[in-house]
Structure 1
Amino acid sequence: MLFSSSPLKCLAKQRLQTIKQCVNFPPAIDQLLTSPLPLPDDDVRQQTLIALDFETTGLNPKQDQIISIGWVPIIQNVIQLSGAQHFLVKPLSQKNHQQAVIHHILPEMQQQGIPLKQGIDILFQQLAGKVLLAHGSVIERQFLAHYIQQQGWPSLPLIWLDTLKIEQTYHRYSWCSHARVKQDWRLSYLRKCYHLPDYQAHHALSDAIATAELYLAQLKRLFAKEYIPLETLMRASL
């Protein structure tokens, strides 16, 4: 199979190119780049996932800020709440502080947060050998890519799954087939389709847990107990 037709083989090639650039990465990034990649036909249920959510002041990473970070691991198809993490991020400026209030984060609360670099460094320490999961992952991807670029690093080869894209790809087989007609792919709406309970939106950890629950519901509904190659869901998440 050609690199261009296999997302995981493309990542493997990208890894080699990144390592050859001999960038002085911190230890967590070195571990991320040297940990074994899964094989394209490995069962996705055997992978350890990190369900991730960024709350931001807007959609443009060049002018907007990450205001909170939350994630939760999924190990052997079980959401591991004991491994959940949530951080408020100390703002670089007070720009867009009204947007932070929408996320139920008051300015005085945010001032007690941690620097963005510290939060992202802690996240990277969790990622070696893991698969990232997000709902509408474009936000997390773009803000993470912007942070990586600011560090002067080349693009890092990360494995992503996206519950929104998975739903769009397999909507004909889900309980939420009418979502395509309504063009409503919001996390809250899809959770209702899967009979999952309401949750507190616009909170990074709550959204991460909500995404993890939706993902497990999708696996059960769309694939039952069938074997699912990781690369199948990677392609569905593009």
Structure 2
Amino acid sequence: MRSDLTFTAIDFETATGHQNSACAVGIVTVESGVITNEFYSLIQPPRNEYMWQTTRVHGIKPKDTLYSPTFKELFQDIKPLLSNKLMIAHNELFDRNVLRKTMLYYGLVYEELGLPEMWECTYKIYRKKGFKPTRLNACCEVLGIDLNHHEALSDARACAELYLRHPFVESLVEG
């Protein structure tokens, strides 16, 4: 494990096919190579609407988020966890777009978070190392990382573990 890495790993689950429909978030803070904080919350998506396809993936239903905060209500709690951080996600484009589009939906300004245009992506890192498949659960299985897949905090924690280990994982591609 690297003791010099400081970053934030994040994972969202969505309620529908729309990227502004965050229904859960997991955020893991790593300081000097050690997990120092974990945050998880269910989020009430717009109109508390779900698609059966997404519920089948993560198991979250409208009854689970009926009394949960909206993203706008939750934002003040998560803003300090994200602002000006090195961000890591397993599919950074998806999670970055969920954050950006959910903020836009609620009239929040993404640029105020001071995040880089692109984040670090463990999917891309492990694909370059030759992992096939490169899904989060597949990478975790190979490396023996505990995972309750599609539970946002477990996914964020697993992503953090993958990022901490990546410098020490030998390439699986024969050169």
- What is the TM-score of this pair, normalised by structure 1? 0.61
Contact (CA 8 Å) 2:13, 2:22: kept in 1 or not?
yes
Per-residue CA distance 1:154-199 (angstroms, 9 max, x = gap): 7454132111111223x1xxxxx251xxxx21001111222334x2
- What is the TM-score of this pair, normalised by structure 2? 0.80
Query: Given the superposition, is the C-alpha separation of residues 51 and 90 from structure 1 closer, same or farther in structure 2, using an over 3 Å criterion?
Result: same
Query: Given the superposition, is the C-alpha separation of residues 201 and 74 from structure 1 closer, same or farther in structure 2, using an over 3 Å criterion?
Result: same
Question: Larger deviation: 154-163 or 68-77?
Answer: 154-163
Say which one has the larger Rg.
1
- Aligned-partner residue type, residue 158 of structure 1: L
Per-residue CA distance 1:47-89 (angstroms, 9 max, x = gap): 421110000124432xx51110111111111122xx2111111
- Equivalence map 1:1-150=2 (5 Å): 46-61=4-19, 65-80=21-36, 83-98=37-52, 99-100=54-55, 102-150=57-105
User: How far is the alpha carbon of 1:146 from its aligned partner?
Assistant: 1.5
1:158 aligns with 2:107: no
Q: Secondary structure at the match of 1:72?
A: strand
Contact (CA 8 Å) 2:15, 2:45: kept in 1 or not?
no
Distance across 2 between alignment mates of 1:96 and 1:218: 35
Q: Secondary structure at the match of 1:73?
A: strand
Per-residue CA distance 1:13-61 (angstroms, 9 max, x = gap): xxxxxxxxxxxxxxxxxxxxxxxxxxxxxxx963421110000124432
Distance across 2 between alignment mates of 1:87 and 1:215: 23
Contact (CA 8 Å) 1:73, 1:84: kept in 2 or not?
yes
Contact (CA 8 Å) 1:194, 1:217: kept in 2 or not?
no
Q: What residue in structure 2 maps to residue 194 of structure 1?
A: 143
Contact (CA 8 Å) 1:91, 1:111: kept in 2 or not?
no
Distance across 1 between alignment mates of 2:50 and 2:63: 14
Question: Larger deviation: 85-94 or 130-139?
Answer: 85-94
How many residues align? The count is 165
Which structure dedicates a bigger proportion of its chain to helix?
1
Q: What residue in structure 1 maps to residue 126 of structure 2?
A: 167
Q: CA-atom RMSD, angstroms?
A: 2.5
Q: Which structure 2 segments of 5+ residues have no match?
A: none
Contact (CA 8 Å) 1:149, 1:155: kept in 2 or not?
no
Which structure dedicates a bigger proportion of its chain to strand?
2
User: How far is the alpha carbon of 1:204 from its aligned partner?
Assistant: 0.6
Q: What residue in structure 2 maps to residue 4 of structure 1?
A: none
Distance across 2 between alignment mates of 1:102 and 1:191: 18
Q: Secondary structure at the match of 2:47?
A: coil
Distance across 2 between alignment mates of 1:59 and 1:91: 12
Query: Given the superposition, is the C-alpha separation of residues 112 and 152 from structure 1 closer, same or farther in structure 2, using an over 3 Å criterion?
Result: closer
- Equivalence map 1:220-231=2 (5 Å): 220-222=168-170
Distance across 1 between alignment mates of 2:131 and 2:87: 27
Q: Which structure 1 segments of 5+ residues have no match?
A: 1-43, 172-176, 224-238
